[in-house]
Chains A and B, each alone.
Chain A
Amino acid sequence: MNRSGFAGLLEYVRENWPHLLSLTWDHVVMVLCGLGLALIVGIPLGILCARREKLAPVILAAANVVQVLPSLALLALLMIVLGLGFKTIVVGLFLYSLLPIIRNTYVGLKQVDAGIAEAGKGVGMSQLQLLAKVQLPLAMPFLAAGLRLAAVIAIGVATLAPLIGGDGLGREIYSGLNMRNDVKIYAGAIPAAALAILADALLGRWQGRFGKRKVRL
């Protein structure tokens, strides 16, 4: 192991940055696809939970079962059904992000003051208008918190992608592990961690924007 330490890492990155960049890009794309799907499915499920109180425990329990499965186990199970590849990892990330988004949409909608919801109805908003103009905007701080949590989890889980034929920064980490090459491990792990921190910070700021306007009467 002649090339090691910080200087080694710098040199490795300088030589391989196009490759690392492309892996980072793959990583981000996987996460975005998974999160996007989770938003598309999770928000309506969260709304359904808030509307039909009897369904809420069922939906939340189902999402929770997915969440408690170890990530590796979930991905392995998905691979059995869906085979190897990008599609499988996106489905895995989607399932993993679902719970925080459903739960936070549900909680966010439930905390909207009943009086404000009734005011909306009373001034003549249809159910859909009430949801779009009043309830969802007021649930946004909660939804943003859910998305933030989901994003951080998904970036972490996505490092497992190479095990089921995906790409991303995990590829660099695993090849480092196989070759006993510390530099490669760092070169994969550090950007993955940085991505998670960046996502957390950016979404945190976004979430904070809602907080300012949010008022309790």
Chain B
Amino acid sequence: MIRFTGVNKEYDDGHQVLKDLNLEVKEGEITVLIGPSGCGKTTTMKLINRLIEPSSGRIEIGGKDIAAFDPVALRRKVGYVIQHIGLFPHMTIAQNVAVVPRLLRWDKSKTAARVDELLSMVGLEPKVYRNRYPSELSGGQQQRIGVIRALAADPSIILMDEPFSALDPLSREQLQDELIRLQHELKKTIVFVTHDMDEAIKLADTIILMNGGTIVQTGHPDRILRHPANDFVKNFIGKKRLQEEGRRRVFTTVDQVIADQPVTALPTRGLAEAVKMMEKKRVDTLLIVDPSNRLLGTVSIYRVLDHYGDEGKTLADVMTPVRHAVKTNTPLSVALNLMSEHQLSNLPVVRGEGEFVGLITRGSVVSHLADVYANPEGGEEVHAG
């Protein structure tokens, strides 16, 4: 975890870039620093690897004040992806990726193996690309190298300074997708600086929106979109995006309406066990799934009680197969039509080859709608009605 406490940065000419900054970057998350140019987002990021020193205040990594670290050693432990690529043009791809391991004096074979592993990870065939020079690669490929160079020594923290801003829109999208995929596997603590709100929304677990050296709003992207703290945030996000967000809410998908904690059981369970579970969780239906979480069927309390006398029976014998289910990302309207057409009290949501994700119930639909219309922004609609 990275924590800033009362951090100020003032330049000799009296210009104050950061004013009493307090923030926390959570471990294993992508935290995006965003704001208009000159808001202090890049300065904030560079404070973390001490490319810039604060005028006052305290910055901690994992509870330790970084002012006590040797800056050079600190930087070797923190990955850094720089704006406009920043590969060393006189070094081959392999040498570029191996820069930090070599500074850390890893042995040669370990370094070479790591380089190949990383190249494969971003879909660049090591045999082909290892000995090329950066100028022989496309912009998108170069920045892939920039990213894996930062990963080379397996740092837990990675700083990314507008890494994709110089790329064409198509490569930018691809690299964003790849970053999401990598992060899913690697779970690094990433501090990502950008001025592009779309990028922030796509990548961030937490957005820190800055202006004039202070933090304006912090939170999950969705939260910032739904509840912009003030006019500055609204303007920065842009009217268009807020409207889109509003429209998207009409096209709510089933994923947003999934009931909390549907109760699942393995088909091998006995009926008495099933009754106990239903009692405890206060539900009238169990979802039967196999050990790999594939949906097999449902069992209602009535079916269980009907066969309760037969001690030899398990849930597998009394369950009813699932006739209707929807895939994730299906629009809610489709699911609601299905439920009303077939008089269903609930509808399972599955992913891929029947992997169980959750359940939509009438209750969950109602509480979702209540959420939407209780929102102050939706107020007009309530008054109109």
Contacts of A121 in B (CB 8 A): 51, 75
Interchain CA distance A179-B75 in the complex, whole Å? 71
1/0 contact string of B61-84 vs chain A (CB within 8 Å):
000000000001111110010111
Task: For residue B278, give the distance in angstroms from its CB to the closest CB of chain A.
Answer: 58
Interchain CA distance A118-B83 in the complex, whole Å? 10
- B interface size (C-beta, 8 A): 28
Do B76 and A123 touch (CB < 8 A)? yes
Contacts of B86 in A (CB 8 A): 115-116, 118-119, 122
**Closest residue of A by beta carbon distance from B161:** A122
Do A122 and B51 touch (CB < 8 A)? yes
Interchain CA distance A77-B57 in the complex, whole Å? 60
Asked if A120 is at the interface (CB within 8 A of a chain B CB), the reply is yes
Interchain CA distance A123-B114 in the complex, whole Å? 17
Do A125 and B88 touch (CB < 8 A)? no
Do B85 and A118 touch (CB < 8 A)? no
Check A124/B75 contact, CB under 8 A, given A215-B89, A215-B133, A215-B134: yes
Check A124/B73 contact, CB under 8 A, given A215-B133, A215-B134: yes
Q: Which of A116, A120, A122 contacts B49 (CB under 8 A)?
A: A122
Contacts of B74 in A (CB 8 A): 124
Do B76 and A138 touch (CB < 8 A)? no
Do B133 and A213 touch (CB < 8 A)? yes
Q: Which of B49, B72, B100, B142 contacts A126 (CB under 8 A)?
A: B72
Task: For residue B233, give the distance in angstroms from its CB to the closest CB of chain A.
Answer: 30
Contacts of B80 in A (CB 8 A): 119, 122-123
Task: For residue A213, give the distance in angstroms from its CB to the closest CB of chain B.
Answer: 6
Do A123 and B89 touch (CB < 8 A)? no
Do B72 and A122 touch (CB < 8 A)? no
Do A123 and B75 touch (CB < 8 A)? yes
**Closest residue of B by beta carbon distance from A210:** B90
Task: For residue A186, give the distance in angstroms from its CB to the closest CB of chain B.
Answer: 45
Asked if B3 is at the interface (CB within 8 A of a chain A CB), the reply is no
Contacts of B103 in A (CB 8 A): 123-125, 129
Contacts of B84 in A (CB 8 A): 115, 217
Do B89 and A214 touch (CB < 8 A)? yes
Interchain CA distance A122-B99 in the complex, whole Å? 11
Asked if A36 is at the interface (CB within 8 A of a chain B CB), the reply is no
For chain A residues 106-152, which have a beta carbon within 8 Å of chain B?
A: 115-116, 118-126, 129, 133-134, 137-138
Interchain CA distance A118-B51 in the complex, whole Å? 9
Do B134 and A122 touch (CB < 8 A)? no
Do B88 and A122 touch (CB < 8 A)? no
Task: For residue A216, give the distance in angstroms from its CB to the closest CB of chain B.
Answer: 8
**Closest residue of B by beta carbon distance from A119:** B86
1/0 contact string of B101-133 vs chain A (CB within 8 Å):
001000000000000000000000000000001
For chain B residues 47-61, which have a beta carbon within 8 Å of chain A?
A: 49, 51
Contacts of A137 in B (CB 8 A): 90
**Closest residue of B by beta carbon distance from A125:** B103
Asked if B135 is at the interface (CB within 8 A of a chain A CB), the reply is yes
Contacts of A133 in B (CB 8 A): 88
Check A119/B82 contact, CB under 8 A, given A137-B90, A213-B89: yes
Task: For residue B118, give the distance in angstroms from its CB to the closest CB of chain A.
Answer: 14
Do A123 and B100 touch (CB < 8 A)? yes
Other contacts beyond A119-B82, A133-B88: 11, CB < 8 A: A116-B86, A119-B80, A119-B87, A122-B82, A122-B159, A123-B99, A123-B150, A124-B77, A215-B89, A217-B89, A217-B135
